Structure 1
């Protein structure tokens, strides 16, 4: 991709120097904050305002009014993701860190504080650390994961089926991914697993309690590592311990946290947004009734319109450069705007057009740091929603659609709740006893990004619960 000259933006206007630079011509109060009640009340409107005012890359302020760049353009996001020589993942390059502007208790620390993780590494070190995660996840076959998703969905539905009502965010979407992912990690089942739900979500929120939540999660993972050294099994923790990359204990615990937080947060949001779409969008339900959209299609639509992680911090400039017409200085922080990038008018001039089978969205990133667990997340959401709807025919919202609200933070957003009602159901789902996840063929690699529809697999799938839902 051709990089615009530092003198001008694509539209011919003058490039904007970095925030905080005297030549910027703006006081900190003149730059929009990416956090706080105002920004979180309507993040989409904020993204579009920044796009209109600044183009593909916009100056913003983070917690403590720390300057950064938010990448809102689709192509600019891909350039930053795919060019590690210009945009490193090593947060120790950040000027704000080097100048002591970030306090130890800053809510930014859980997300941007350097850790011995593949997401903070480049080159050979990145390959070494990422290889361990990829190999660890490859031991779980698709059918084994789906079997446990069905089992845990049945258990969760049993807890509220007789009542005839539930909150699908609180009672289902937040719990299912945690139950499945902790099983992959090797944690024993029990209430202790459920106690990790809120801390895992909170540590990405930028709240005052994010640091404490992060430490709680880390302590549980340290305990898990100790147990697995004494009694290894067929799980991710045991595989990381024995992996030929010779990971240190610190590296193992950090990568367990990364896997837990990323898989849980992403899948909670994906399930919540998809369920809301199914229960509220008449066009969506009409397409299902006509057989034109499968559940995998719907998941991709949600990943375009409501990606699980709206903003990803970050990339750090390795030297002075330009991106989207803006002058980026060495050590500047770039935030990848997944949500605004996915609705960039340059690639989606008409947002009403369906994107069935199109996986060229930014939801799983791109380049060397593309998410290695994307297929597992899809399997949890796809199988979980399919099983849930099959168990609860006649499911519908218990409140008017306009009463539904969004729970938004500076990086994520999802429906705050989804109150539903359905005919009360007696009896319980069939569950199996505790047993190790089967190990056979690796999970297939995520499909390559392509703007062309991928319809063959989607067209072959029909879900019997669709007609139950639509014909209630």
Structure 2
């Protein structure tokens, strides 16, 4: 903790709403946030510095961590900044109800993300063990299969939207195979996962639908085990109970799909808006992982990470954080922090110290699987679609943001029409 005194003219500032005031705070949701999240981050940084008071959906107060170093401090210190929402003062005092869309992202569940210490290590071990197992079972073969099926649907048209026709659903189709789910569930599950992340009134209903499908899956796999992630959780030595199994199936399904689909779309956007990158990939002079690395720095798939709860009064970024305050981590803002990247045009190739996969004990355990999906998908796409090019000017591409992510709306492309399956 910083030794800065908590009084005097340079004292850390408190959150107006969290402390009972009526400050006019920025909402990290709604129409403005959907159109210009980067502008909001820049304005907040100028006004408040590395940490800013904001409002989440339902006008719930929170701190947005904007600074790279401040994000690292929060991520690396679970004793000061817990992931366990039992520490959330506004929830405990009834200002956030169980029907709030925020509960889908911040509420406690019997999973590794919601806990710290030994309970976290036990549960995370079950997840990482099984992710490593399925990663060695031909994941690139599954991606190739489903990527070709997706491309077959539009190959003869010579035109496509690589968001809606490809990136939006491909990761979920792969996950259905890895989980032991019918491929036919893929599209509807992808839509439900997207709605949970987006929030709003329908988030709870979509979450309930996901949990119902996963409950039926677990029951089926008890009777008919297979070489899949679900069976691995059921039989893991950590001896997960029913709630723990379903919560981890939900956790991996939602986070793996939404982050990978968003990242894949952004990688394709960067490739197609820079002809030198496209030519480098086609010629073999550039590898996909280098493009992925650049995207992870500049447009990480999860822009804001939920969340942490202060376990004591402390100072962060020149502000007084009170015990029970909610902090959300600005991964995009931290990656673009001018304190560490005064010139964002400088190459970040070979530098993997970005925040895109979180950090500390809760760092994303499935990043290698996501990378395999993206690299294989891009390779298949470039092989199948010669002459691939953007069909609209690059400055016409748009994104829509929620509190937690900014997703590319569409990526219209043209290419030489192909016979399906070739």
- Which residue in 2 is equivalent to 1:316? 309
* Matches of 2:383 and 2:72, distance apart in 1: 39
- Which residue in 1 is equivalent to 2:49? 55
- Which residue in 2 is equivalent to 1:15? 12
* Matches of 2:341 and 2:136, distance apart in 1: 32
Question: Residue 296 in 1 paired to residue 295 in 2?
Answer: no
Preserved contact between residue 4 and residue 323 of structure 1 (Cα < 8 Å): no
* Matches of 2:157 and 2:317, distance apart in 1: 53
Question: Residue 45 in 1 paired to residue 44 in 2?
Answer: no
Residues 382 and 74 (structure 1 numbering): CA distance in 2 closer, same or farther, change over 3 Å? same
Considering only aligned residues, what root-mean-square deviation do their CA atoms show, in Å?
A: 1.9
Map 1:368-387 → 2, pairs under 5 A: 368-387=361-380
Stretch of structure 1 that moved more, 138-147 or 44-53: 138-147
CA displacement at 1:104 relative to structure 2: 2.4
Map 1:326-405 → 2, pairs under 5 A: 326-405=319-398
TM-score by length of 1: 0.86
* Matches of 2:76 and 2:38, distance apart in 1: 25
Preserved contact between residue 19 and residue 68 of structure 1 (Cα < 8 Å): no
Residues 324 and 292 (structure 1 numbering): CA distance in 2 closer, same or farther, change over 3 Å? farther
- Which residue in 2 is equivalent to 1:155? 149
Map 1:258-297 → 2, pairs under 5 A: 258-282=251-275, 284-285=277-278, 293-297=286-290
- Which residue in 2 is equivalent to 1:100? 94
Describe the superposition over 1:248-290 as per-residue Cα deviations: whole angstroms up to 9, x where unpaired.
Answer: 1111011001000110011011100011111113564576689
* Matches of 2:280 and 2:5, distance apart in 1: 47
CA displacement at 1:21 relative to structure 2: 5.0
Q: What secondary structure, in the 3-state scheme, does the structure 2 residue paired with 1:163 have?
A: coil
Question: Residue 118 in 1 paired to residue 112 in 2?
Answer: yes
- Which residue in 2 is equivalent to 1:5? 4
Query: Of 114, 139, 142, which aligns to 1:145?
Result: 139
Residues 287 and 324 (structure 1 numbering): CA distance in 2 closer, same or farther, change over 3 Å? farther
- Which residue in 2 is equivalent to 1:466? none
* Matches of 1:342 and 1:183, distance apart in 2: 33
Query: Of 211, 232, 247, which aligns to 1:239?
Result: 232
- Which residue in 2 is equivalent to 1:423? 416
* Matches of 2:196 and 2:18, distance apart in 1: 31
CA displacement at 1:400 relative to structure 2: 2.3
Q: Which runs of 5+ in 2 are unaligned?
A: none
Question: Residue 171 in 1 paired to residue 170 in 2?
Answer: no
* Matches of 1:170 and 1:8, distance apart in 2: 53
Q: What secondary structure, in the 3-state scheme, does the structure 2 residue paired with 1:60 have?
A: strand
* Matches of 2:130 and 2:18, distance apart in 1: 45
Q: What secondary structure, in the 3-state scheme, does the structure 2 residue paired with 1:314 have?
A: strand
Q: Which runs of 5+ in 1 are unaligned?
A: 430-472
* Matches of 1:397 and 1:93, distance apart in 2: 48
CA displacement at 1:291 relative to structure 2: 7.1
CA displacement at 1:403 relative to structure 2: 2.1
CA displacement at 1:182 relative to structure 2: 1.9
Q: What secondary structure, in the 3-state scheme, does the structure 2 residue paired with 1:77 have?
A: helix
Describe the superposition over 1:350-390 as per-residue Cα deviations: whole angstroms up to 9, x where unpaired.
Answer: 00011112111001111100111010001101111111111
Q: Which runs of 4+ in 1 moved over 6 A?
A: 289-292
* Matches of 1:417 and 1:104, distance apart in 2: 34
Aligned residues: 422
Describe the superposition over 1:383-417 as per-residue Cα deviations: whole angstroms up to 9, x where unpaired.
Answer: 11111111101011222223211021110112101
